[in-house]
Chains A and B, each alone.
Chain A
Amino acid sequence: GIQVEQSPPDLILQEGANSTLRCNFSDSVNNLQWFHQNPWGQLINLFYIPSGTKQNGRLSATTVATERYSLLYISSSQTTDSGVYFCAGYADSNYQLIWGAGTKLIIKP
């Protein structure tokens, strides 16, 4: 079926640690995006990454479309990185975004 699965569901880290979040997506989903929903509820675009690797400061993302997964790397975590990280991909059948359940990240000072 059409699926986007994220792991881990929860992650608690100390400030300064590095983390890797994973998103697996089914054959009929493409053109992945990563979002950060901060504790105030705002949804922030992090990356639009159908394939390849992109970097933005301490964050980077890699999508291997042939193997149906994407990874979000956060280095030197800060408390402001806390929140929920969502990945979402477009369903080929109807061009609607299919959302993962999110990874809740807590960075402790």
Chain B
Amino acid sequence: NAGVTQTPKFQVLKTGQSMTLQCAQDMNHNSMYWYRQDPGMGLRLIYYSASEGTTDKGEVPNGYNVSRLNKREFSLRLESAAPSQTSVYFCASSEARGGQPQHFGDGTRLSIL
């Protein structure tokens, strides 16, 4: 039982490059989330998907897009990476939006030069 799986674990990009971070969960959860964590800080919500077919902006959505591909998978895309997007990105899932525990992947460490 893998839980929440994120790929890749590490990535280095040049400014202006694009990339997609992948996330998949095997817990049959309805809701999925993308967060970023900057050094010494807590997590900030980028986007979430309350259920399959829906996505909504979180606290810091600028510069990102998301796709809820199916119930299991939720991807995060950086169209034109900027140094300010250097961070650790976490994907999470929960049975439902609000009032249910969230379970996290191991994170993707992204550096943008």
Contacts and interface: CB of A to CB of B under 8 A. Distances in A.
Give chain B's interface residue range (CB within 8 Å of chain A): 20 to 34
Nearest to A101: B42
Give chain A's interface residue range (CB within 8 Å of chain B): 20 to 34
A45 B101 contact: yes
Contacts of A102: 42
Contact of B98 (A88, A90, A100): A90
Contacts of A86: 42-43
A90 B42 contact: no
A41 interface: yes
B104 A43 contact: yes
Given A41-B107, A42-B106, A42-B107, A100 B42 contact: yes
Contacts of A53: none
B98 A99 contact: no
Interface in B88-113: 88, 90, 97-104, 106-107, 109
A40 B102 CA distance: 19
B104 A45 contact: yes
Given A42-B107, A43-B90, A31 B98 contact: yes
Contacts of A96: 45, 48, 58-59
Interface of A: 30-31, 33, 35, 41-43, 45, 48, 50, 86, 88, 90, 95-97, 99-102
